[in-house]
Amino acid sequence: MGASLPFEERLLASRAATREAAPFITVAIPHYKHRRYLEVVLGSLFAQTFDDFEILVSDNASPDDSKAVIPPLLQEAGRPFRYYVQPSNLGVDANIRFCLGAAQGRYVFLLGNDDALREPTTLQDVASLLRQLDLPEVAFTNYEDWASGQVVRRAHSTRLLGAGPPAAVQYSRTFSFLGGLIYDRIAASRHETERWDGSIYYQIYLANRILAAGGRLGALDVCAVRKDVQVDGQTVPNYASKWADAPWSFQSRHTGLDSVIRVTADAILPLLPPAQRSKTLRRIVAQILTFPYPYWLFEYRRIANWSFAVGIARGMWPVTLLAEYSLAYRDRVYLWTLYLAVTLAGLVIPAPLFHWSGPTLAYTVRRLQQSLTSSMHPLPYTGTLPRK
């Protein structure tokens, strides 16, 4: 696999840190084209008041002028950096793995190439909160939309949320957005795998596997990231621009939710006793069917049309979705019933009603989830991962 080659062979340009010790944070950016957006992102890094960090960019064989423009920009800024160029496109997941493997910091802060840091003090705040929580193995921050300023509160307070399989199951959906996810570099290296290359959700697998193996999860109540940078009033093309006003078609559609289930199940289930796996898998699938699945039904009704949403429902058909898993009969019936109920609601409830109430509902669910966690004793650290 390409990412396993020596890192030095891919290094195009770098600037060493003046201090000898490894940095506390590596801000790692898996990059593919859209150079103008990356310039804005890097500007937010150059403005940081925090000094104990390095910048790492892994250029995934971009077809634009990134490798001609970005390294001189990094050199001029005077920050420690390394700019890698892949000889061929590795895919999203392998490029994220490359970033994690090449990083030298105690922590790796992942950032999309069109997602900027919010404030000049962002990394200082993140470092302070990580130390406040006694250096957890996985952490996440809040983020806001660049254009609207709407904040997504993944963390409602700064605290440890637990460890072990229960914490992984409860918070598995938190890791879908890459920006502001933070991994202990050594913990990440212990669980690296090529198995989920092509899933586009390696970061979900990795976070859940670290937690399931005993790592602690930290919620950092800081809005660290401004997502979807705009240049000349335009964002990087996304699903909304791709499928806007799509022609009517009832063909089965793949949204990636099945991949989320697969990577999450593979991260958690092997670390459980066989007797607990069916019930745990039911919880994993039920979370997807209850929250992101109806959201995407309504979202694609809005940007495309009703037939497109039917295609999404076909892509989540339980016969296919659950075929590879061994489930107890009662758990399989439960998931079938849930699928049918949610699909019916997602296809018949007026879309404007959902889009009016959806953000408030999502906020309430996340807050309730973390409030329930705080009312219980945190799950103990098992010692599976060394604390350094």
Report the DSSP beta bridge partners of residue 162: 217
pTM assigned to the model: 0.90
- Our CA angle for 219, 40, 121, nearest 5°, is 40
By the 8 A CB rule, do 55 and 79 touch?
A: yes
> What pLDDT shows up at residue 378?
45
Could you give the CA distance from residue 266 to residue 103 in angstroms, rounded to a whole number? 25
- What is the location of CATH 3.90.550.10 in the chain? 8-227
By the 8 A CB rule, do 308 and 316 touch?
A: no
Residue 91 DSSP code? -
> What pLDDT shows up at residue 158?
98
C-alpha separations of 86 from 82, 185, 290 in Å: 13, 21, 39
For residues 364, 366, 368, 373, the Cα torsion angle rounded to the nearest 10 degrees is: -170
By the 8 A CB rule, do 54 and 17 touch?
A: yes
- Our CA angle for 171, 60, 64, nearest 5°, is 125
> What pLDDT shows up at residue 125?
98
> What pLDDT shows up at residue 353?
72
pLDDT tens over the chain, length 388 residues: 444 456 888 999 999 988 888 999 999 999 999 999 999 999 999 999 999 999 999 999 999 999 999 999 999 999 999 999 999 999 999 999 999 999 999 999 999 999 999 999 999 999 999 999 999 999 999 999 999 999 999 999 999 999 999 999 999 999 999 999 999 999 999 999 999 999 999 999 999 999 999 999 999 999 999 999 999 999 999 988 999 989 999 999 989 999 999 999 999 999 999 999 999 999 999 999 999 999 999 999 999 999 999 999 999 999 999 999 999 999 999 999 999 999 999 999 987 776 655 555 444 444 544 554 444 444 443 334 333 3
DSSP-assigned states of every residue in 121-137? THHHHHHHHHHHTT--S
> What pLDDT shows up at residue 356?
56
Report the DSSP beta bridge partners of residue 231: 234
Up-side HSE of residue 237: CA atoms within 13 Å toward CB? 7
Could you give the CA distance from residue 165 to residue 180 in angstroms, rounded to a whole number? 22
DSSP-assigned states of every residue in 34-69? -HHHHHHHHHHHHT-S--SEEEEEEE---SSSHHHH
The two three-digit tokens of residue 327, written as one number: 């489930």
C-alpha separations of 37 from 162, 233, 368 in Å: 36, 11, 36
DSSP-assigned states of every residue in 248-271? P-------SHHHHHHHHHHHHGGG
By the 8 A CB rule, do 179 and 115 touch?
A: yes
The superfamily CATH assigns to domain 8-227 is Spore Coat Polysaccharide Biosynthesis Protein SpsA; Chain A (3.90.550.10)
> What pLDDT shows up at residue 228?
97
> What pLDDT shows up at residue 2?
44
> What pLDDT shows up at residue 367?
54
By the 8 A CB rule, do 20 and 60 touch?
A: no
Residue 183 DSSP code? E
